[in-house]
Amino acid sequence: MRASILRETSRGINAISTVDKLYEERMIFLTEEINSEVTTGVIRELLCLEKADPKKEITLCITTPGGEVTSGLALYDVLRGLKCPVRTVCIGTAASMGAIIFLAGNKRQILRHCQVMVHDPLLSGLSGSRKALELEKEALKLMESRAIIGGIIAERTGHTIEEVYEKTKEDTYLDAEEALAFGIATEIADRI
């Protein structure tokens, strides 16, 4: 069920969804698992807002379990390439690729009781018998993804790649204070 608010216009009283109202305020929400369909929708919204006003800040609120590396990196690249400033806000758990997208913000706020989770990329979708060379190819792709993701975290937090790899070798959950101390967040916020 989508919530609506009433708004009085020259044509009378109209109902507008809360999603549309927040979009007018330049706020977008990423609350689903990251895949090509979700990122395409978010990218479309970002580009429309940039075109409407390339100097005005966009806020991307994030709570996601993560998802596909390629889709997440595409969204990261678009966020970093926008002309307008981007504020990312962690409003729950920004996990895995959600944490990487969170890092794309010029300003990265985390609500006081929220968390970020970082880890090395996972190899998923293995089923059935695989040949040695097929597994080797998958492992090389996985290590390439690890290097890209580790590089982003290092660049955005100011840590060395070795420090990042130490942090991401396991699922590492960081509360707001820890995310701020590690440089993933730039500010703890009490409100959006």
Q: Active-site residues: which are they?
A: 96, 119
Q: In this structure, how many other beta carbons lie within 10 angstroms of the beta carbon of residue 28?
A: 19
CA angle 178, 142, 138 (to 5 degrees): 160
Tokens representing residue 126 in the block: 């293995």
Alpha-carbon distance of 83 to 81, in angstroms, equals 6
Q: Are 52 and 76 in contact (CB under 8 A)?
A: no
Nearest CA to 88 out of 117, 56, 110 is that of: 110
Alpha-carbon distance of 63 to 151, in angstroms, equals 23
